Amino acid sequence: MLITLIRVAILYFFVILCMRLMGKRQLGELQPTELVITILLSEIAAIPIQDNGVPLVNSIFAVLLLVSLEIINSVLCLKSSKIRHIIEGNPIVIIRDGVIDQKRLKQLRFSSEDLIEQLRQKDVFDINEVKFAIVETNGQLSVMLKEKNQPITQEALDSSAKEKGLQTMIINDGRVISKSFEECNMNEKKLKKLLEENKMTADEILLLLADSFENYIIVRKDKDI
């Protein structure tokens, strides 16, 4: 009995340590690969708990291998947008200006009931109020309301404030994402002009977001990193 308790305690703290090594995101909303790793970790940790005849070191090595694979996967996804898109997928817009994209809905195997339920969870009860609804890579729904349906703010009361659209990533860690150009009416010429106006090159930018109304968010890379 004492041996079982000791093995459980060792595995408990070891698995917690491994989850921390994988990063905070694994403890929140999980990507598909992260969910798989979490399930496998729990299954592997349970084997030596249920059978004292199984060497504890076997499970420890198996857990370390899974954690190593997940860390390698995270690094690859960080360095390559193509690998990230293959493994994690892409966010998909399923509502534009109150109109449901039924083709995308079918592609995601998202039923109308699922969509309405998730909208209600966002306190949205009228599809016509939705400007954009996006299914994120973790399956969660993000909603942007039309301007007239958004909560009133000081910015909204300012008549000179520019209208805002869906922010699209144009540059990610110095890499230009040309396939995002159409979503925000961007092109190579406009991007070059924007970079020249800000006296920056793409390599110096960590993040550049743009919408169809020429609203931009630019985050410069930290030179110390």
Nearest C-alpha neighbor of 9 from the set 56, 63, 76: 56
DSSP 120-163: HHTT---GGGEEEEEE-TTS-EEEEE-GGGSPP-HHHH-TTPPP
Question: pLDDT tens for residues 37-93?
Answer: 777 777 887 887 777 777 878 888 888 887 888 788 778 877 777 777 777 778 889
Lowest-pLDDT range of 9-18, 118-127, 211-220: 9-18
Alpha carbons 136 and 25: distance in angstroms, whole number: 15
Query: Architecture of domain 90-157 in CATH?
Result: 2-Layer Sandwich (3.30)
- Decide whether 90-157 matches 168-220 in CATH topology: yes
SS3 47: helix
pLDDT at 4 over 70: no
- E strand or H helix at 190, and its extent? helix 188-197
Kindly indicate the confidence band of residue 32, based on its pLDDT and cuts at 50, 70 and 90: low
Average pLDDT (196-221) is 89
Q: What are the boundaries of each domain within the chain?
A: 2-86, 90-157, 168-220
pTM: predicted TM-score of the whole model, two decimal places: 0.62
The domain 168-220 having CATH identifier 3.40.50.10800: the answer here is no
pLDDT at 132 over 70: yes
